[in-house]
Amino acid sequence: MDFDFTDDQEMLRDTVRRWVERGYDFERRRAIVKAGGFSREAWQEIADLGICGLQVPEAQGGLGLGPVDAMVVLEELGRGLVLEPYAAVALVATSVLKAGHEAAAAPRLQHIAQGKEIVVLAHEERHSRYRLAHVETTAHGSGHAWRLSGRKIAVPAGGAANAFIVPARIGGDVDDATGVGLFLVSPGQPGVEVHPYPTQDGASGADLVLKEAGAIELIAPGAAFAALELAADTGIAALCAEAVGAMDRLVAITVEYMNTRKQFGVAIASFQALRHRIADVKMQLELARSMSYYASLKLGEEPAARRRALAQAKVQLGTSMRFVGQQCIQLHGGIGVTDEYAASHYFKRLTVIEMTFGDTLFQLGEVSRRMQTTAGVFA
Partner 1 sequence: MDLAFTPEEQAFREQIRAWVRDNLPKDISDKVRNSIHLTRDDLQRWAKILGQKGWHGWAWPKQFGGPGWNAIQKHLFEEETALAGAPRVIPFGPVMVAPVIMAFGTPEQQKRFLPGIASGEVWWSQGYSEPGSGSDLASLKTKAERRGDKYIVNGQKTWTTLGQYGDWIFCLVRTSNEGKPQTGISFLLIDMKSPGITVRPIITMEGEREVNEVWFDNVEVPADQLIGEENKGWTYAKHLLAHERTNIADVNRAKRELERLKRVAEAEGVYGDGRFRDQIALLEVDVVALEMMVLRVLSAEKSGKQSLDVAGLLKIRGSEIQQRYTELMMLAAGPAAVPLDREAIAAGWQPGELDGAFVAPLASTYFNMRKTTIYGGSNEVQRNIVAQTVLGS
- Cα–Cα separations (whole angstroms), residue 313 to 75, 225, 239, 252, 290: 15, 21, 10, 23, 9
**Counting contacts by CB under 8 A, is residue 365 touching partner 1?**
yes
Contacts to partner 1 from residues 50-89, by CB under 8 A: 68
**DSSP code for 89:** I
Site membership for partner 1, residue 270 (CB under 8 A): yes
Shorter beta-carbon distance to partner 1: residue 158 or 325: 325
Which among 42-50, 73-81, 148-156, 263-271 is the span making contact with partner 1, rule CB under 8 A? 263-271
Among 278, 305, 342, 355, binds partner 1 (CB under 8 A): 278
| Residue 367 engages partner 1 in binding (rule: CB under 8 A) | yes
CB-based contacts of 125: which residues, under 8 Å, 6+ apart? 134, 135, 136, 137, 150, 151, 152, 153
The number of beta carbons lying within 10 Å of the beta carbon of residue 11 is: 12
Site string for partner 1, 299-328 (x = CB under 8 A): -------------x--xx------------
- How many residues lie near partner 1 (CB under 8 A)? 44
Ramachandran sector of residue 70 (left: φ over 0; alpha: ψ -120 to 50; beta: rest): alpha
Residue placing its CB nearer to partner 1 in the complex, 73 or 224 = 73
1 binds partner 1 (CB under 8 A): yes
Report CA-CA distances (Å) from 302 to 22, 251, 310. 40, 35, 12
Q: Check if the beta carbon of residue 307 is closer than 8 Å to that of residue 295.
A: no
Closest CA to 291 of 304, 308, 274: 308
Q: Whose Cβ is closer to partner 1: residue 1's or residue 103's? A: 1
- Closer CB to partner 1, 172 or 365, in the complex: 365
Which whole-number Å values give the CA distances from 322 to 288, 295, 325, in the listed order?
A: 11, 19, 5
Question: Residue 335 Cβ, how far from partner 1 at the closest point, in Å?
Answer: 18
Nearest CA among 30, 124, 153, 16 for reference residue 83: 30
Decide: helix, strand or coil at residue 37: coil
Q: How far is the CB of 361 from partner 1 (least distance, A)?
A: 9
Q: Residue 103 interacts with partner 1 (CB under 8 A)?
A: no
DSSP states of 118-171: -EEE----TTTTT-TT----EEEEETTEEEEEEEE-S-TTGGG-SEEEEEEESS
Among the residue ranges 33-41, 75-83, 159-167, 276-284, the one whose residues contact partner 1 (CB under 8 A): 276-284
Site membership for partner 1, residue 280 (CB under 8 A): yes
Q: What binding mask, one character per residue, do residues 345-364 give for partner 1 by CB under 8 A, x or -?
A: -------------------x
> Rounded to the nearest whole angstrom, what is the least distance from the CB of residue 189 to partner 1 in the complex?
43
Please say which residue, 283 or 337, places its beta carbon nearer to partner 1: 283
- Interface positions with partner 1 (CB under 8 A): 1-5, 68, 251, 255, 258-259, 267, 269-270, 272, 275-276, 278-280, 282-283, 286-287, 290-291, 293-294, 296-298, 312, 315-316, 364-365, 367-368, 371, 373-377, 379
